[in-house]
Amino acid sequence: MRTVRAVLVLSLSLAAWGIPRGQAGIPALYTLAQARSGHRAYEHKCAACHGKQEQGLVGPALRGPIFASPKANYKVRDIFLFLSVNMPAYAPGSLTPKQYVDIMSFLLRQNGFPPGKTALTDAMASTSAVPLLYHGRLQSPTRHARAGGGCGQRPSASRSGVHPPPPHCKRLVAVLPGASVHSSAD
Amino acid sequence: MTTIHALPQRVRRTVGAGLLVALAYAGTALAGAYPPVTDARLAAAATDNGWLMFRRDYAGNSFAPFKQINTHNVMNLHLVWSYRSHLKQGYESTPIVNGQYLFITTPKDHLIALNAVTGKVLWKYVWPMPGVGFKTVCCDVVNRGVALYGNDVYMATLDNYVLALNATTGKVVWKRQLKPADVGYAMTLAPMILKGMVIVGESGGEYGARDFIQALNAKTGALLWRRWTTAAPGHLGGNTWPKGMYEHGGGSAWITGTYDPSTDTLFWGVGNPAPWLAKLRPGLNLFTDSLLALHPRSGKIKWYYQYTPHDTWDYDGVNTPVITTLRYRGTTYRAIVHADRNGWFYAINRLNGKLIYARPFTRATSVAGFKNGVPYTNNALRPAMNKQVFTCPSFLGGKNWWPISVDPLTHLAYVPTIHTCMTMKGAPTFYHPGLPYLGESFQVVHDPADRHWGALQAINIDTGRQVWNHESNLPWDAGAMSTAGGVVFSGSARGHLYAFDARTGRVLWRSAQLSSGVIAPPSTFMVNGKQYVAILAGWGGGTPIWGGKMVPVLKNIPRGGHLYVFALR
């Protein structure tokens, strides 16, 4: 419900600002070509720490309702500033401006922002006050949706709400002598 | 090259998190009676047969009095059992042992109890963090282990809980959250037990948290005292910050402190100020990068010593302050020794906080020297907007958190070391809860004067001078442990447990290659008259994330956790 309310507020605001809107009034800030290029750059430069599915590894997840939450109150410019100044962590600022913008485009797409006809630019990303909220999963141009449900998954989300991990993921596990065990999450 | 993977199946165990089994079998059925951990046992932890706390005893020496494994027979060590965990992040936990119970933690706050002799899993607890994004955890989702008291075991978590669990069953006794997750705070340290309190410290210096050291009642979880590490106006040090900046000034307290019973003083190190760019916060910014001497019952400050004034290089002062006695230029001192991130090895009088001596243990240019016992910095090496500097060591430090060991027999401190420098330049930043708050861009590079990335070196605590040095092509990111058997143990990034001659540094033994690199400290313990050595392998931590030019040479180190326990044949 909070997500729906946020989208509504956002839509009204964007209409006033003249920013192109996609489905459900979500702003279209980048082009599909940028997201595709950003995906390739992400896999080379970001995935080692943030995971191939942006699910988080040694660095935080960059996709989903926990990352892009109303509570976090991120604007696009907030994330882009840190991305373009301090990432990748092993060589901050080492990518081209185009690569940073493309990666930002890819992250927007992975958080449910639709592509549009107008390309994102460095200047736009650096100043965009558009709230970075998770709007659900778009069908990926380069990747099939993945099944969730394991303990290693972040809670999945849809427009109907956030789905917590299965109950078996969160409790004491005693291992008895001779018991067979498996290792899905550890 | 033989690897531990190739060892017989019977010593390998793979256990996962996904299985829920009823608790019909408590640990006592599998590891015997659990010996309660009393205040008296903690006070005498140095001589206990187990390994009861983070650095073995309150002094933090990580020195064990056991001689069964010694310089003459250490080459006969062999693997007794191992336990595998498949989480792919870094493993920084010291194996903690009481009786036949051995406790480790894994990344993302899993706590596992095993039989110390057989490796049989007694219980496993997976702390649930379903809504946590780990957004303000800078340097891998690590946990550095547990504390023990009474019949309970304690863990601090990435979402800022302190947990007490029953040591034989794993059932939660109490839990207390100190701060919400993802707004700047996180905890990665092993708690400390002292006088019926559990004491922890918060991380968050990279996110503008105002950090603190917190004491809780160990039996109930009730909050007892909180020592903020950035000083507010009207308090000691409150005039060392521009207006209001202490509120987001960092000062994380992310490594367990030490305790001196002779003066009833709790020592705790404090991390970097926020934001990193010092020009944004003129002043000394107390008590960042400082050693705090505290009244343990109240958290009030007795004295402090700031290792790096007005830090702009991320030189956290958290590395373990080891309590010892040394003789310097003919005078005996009750001292603290400490190898700082800023590249200097400090000896400080633990009665009054006065510097005894300081010497660089790696290339150190940011802190240029000392005047009347107070460090001064090279202001030309302070970055600014549009000003890039080159200075040493890098923000990863001459050493990072990996604890030193101090051997009272040799009077040597064994110091894990990295040889790095960095470029650093000012950059725009702003404070927003849950986002980094740095104001600098940077890259870690090689120390141009040293062709190795790392070393384990021995420093004479009576002089501050190096006695031996074991250089490594890869960074040396693991803690050290020494024993009365004349052996120093530590693990390498390439994945070997090393045994050095404590006096000479000669390599006496090197394990077969473990399944991953080592970033954790080892421990040792005696059960039924037999000495064991335990070490967790599991590459990760801050180096492979922030290591700059080191990262390419480290990228092929396998990931995953593996606890190994060795003993003599």
Residue-wise pLDDT for B20-56, tens only, equals: 233 435 567 788 899 999 999 999 999 999 999 999 9
Nearest to B85 among A94, A164, A186 (CB): A186
pLDDT at residue B94, as a whole number: 98
- Which tens digit of pLDDT belongs to each residue from B255-286? 999 999 999 999 999 999 999 999 999 999 99
A-chain residues near B141 (CB < 8 A): 58
CB B89, CB B122: distance < 8 Å: no
A-chain residues near B432 (CB < 8 A): 73-74, 78
- Which tens digit of pLDDT belongs to each residue from B106-143? 999 999 999 999 999 999 999 999 999 999 999 999 99
pLDDT at residue A25, as a whole number: 86
Q: How many CB pairs under 8 A join A and B?
A: 157
Contact: B135, A175; criterion CB under 8 Å: no
Contact: A60, B135; criterion CB under 8 Å: yes
Q: Which residues contact A42 (CB under 8 A, 6 or more apart)?
A: A54, A103, A106, A107
Q: Mark B85-121 as b/e (b = at least 16 C-beta within 10 Å).
A: bbbbbbbbbbbbbbbbbbbbbbbbbbbbbbbbbebbb
**Token output for A101:** 């913008």
ipTM for this model: 0.90
Tell me which of A46, A58, A76, A80 to substitute to probe the interface with B (most B C-beta atoms closer than 10 Å).
A58
- Which tens digit of pLDDT belongs to each residue from B508-540? 999 999 999 999 999 999 999 999 999 999 999
Please name the residue ranges forming H helices in B491-561: 543-546, 551-554
Name the E strands within B273-426.
290-294, 301-306, 322-328, 331-339, 344-349, 355-360, 367-371, 374-377, 388-391, 405-407, 412-418, 420-426
B5 pLDDT exceeds 70? no
| B451 DSSP assignment | S
pLDDT at residue A178, as a whole number: 28
> How much is the pTM?
0.90
Calculate the average pLDDT of chain B: 95
Contact: B18, A172; criterion CB under 8 Å: no
Domains contained in chain A, CATH given: 2-139 (1.10.760.10)
Name the E strands within B212-316.
212-217, 223-228, 258-260, 265-269, 290-294, 301-306
Q: Give burial (CB, 10 Å; 0-12/13-18/19+) of B318.
A: buried
Query: What is the Cα A121 distance to its own chain's centre?
Result: 19
Whether chain B has a CB inside 8 Å of the CB on A47: the answer is no
CA B447 to chain A, closest CA, distance in angstroms equals 16
**Stretch B427-449: mean pLDDT:** 96
Spatial separation of the C-alpha atoms in residues B257 and A146, rounded to whole Å: 44
From the candidate CATH numbers 2.140.10.10, 3.30.70.100, 2.40.50.1070, 1.20.1250.20, the one assigned to the domain spanning B21-62+77-568: 2.140.10.10
Residues of B noted as catalytic: 314
% of chain A at pLDDT higher than 90: 60
- Which tens digit of pLDDT belongs to each residue from B202-245? 999 999 999 999 999 999 999 999 999 999 999 999 999 999 99
CA B239 to chain A, closest CA, distance in angstroms equals 31
B14 pLDDT exceeds 90? no
pLDDT at residue B3, as a whole number: 46
pLDDT at residue B355, as a whole number: 98
% of chain B at pLDDT higher than 90: 94
| Among B54, B45, B52, B49, residue whose Cα is nearest residue B92 | B54
- For chain A, positions 146-185, list CB contacts with chain B under 8 A: 150-151, 155, 164-165, 168-177, 179, 181-185
In one-letter notation, the amino acid at residue B189 is L
Rounded to whole angstroms, what are the CA distances from B409 to B61, B66, B325, B489, B557?
12, 13, 11, 16, 36
A-chain residues near B548 (CB < 8 A): 90-91
Q: Binning pLDDT at 50, 70 and 90, where does residue B451 land?
A: confident
B-chain residues near A175 (CB < 8 A): 15, 19, 21, 121-124
- Which tens digit of pLDDT belongs to each residue from A12-71? 444 444 566 666 789 999 999 999 999 999 999 999 999 999 999 999 999 999 999 999
Q: Rounded to the nearest 5°, which phi and psi values hold at B63? A: -120, 125
- Which tens digit of pLDDT belongs to each residue from B393-423? 999 999 999 999 999 999 999 999 999 999 9
CA B18 to chain A, closest CA, distance in angstroms equals 6
- Which tens digit of pLDDT belongs to each residue from B326-356? 999 999 999 999 999 999 999 999 999 999 9
% of chain B at pLDDT higher than 70: 95
Q: Binning pLDDT at 50, 70 and 90, where does residue B450 land?
A: confident
Q: Rounded to the nearest 5°, which phi and psi values hold at A22? A: -100, -150
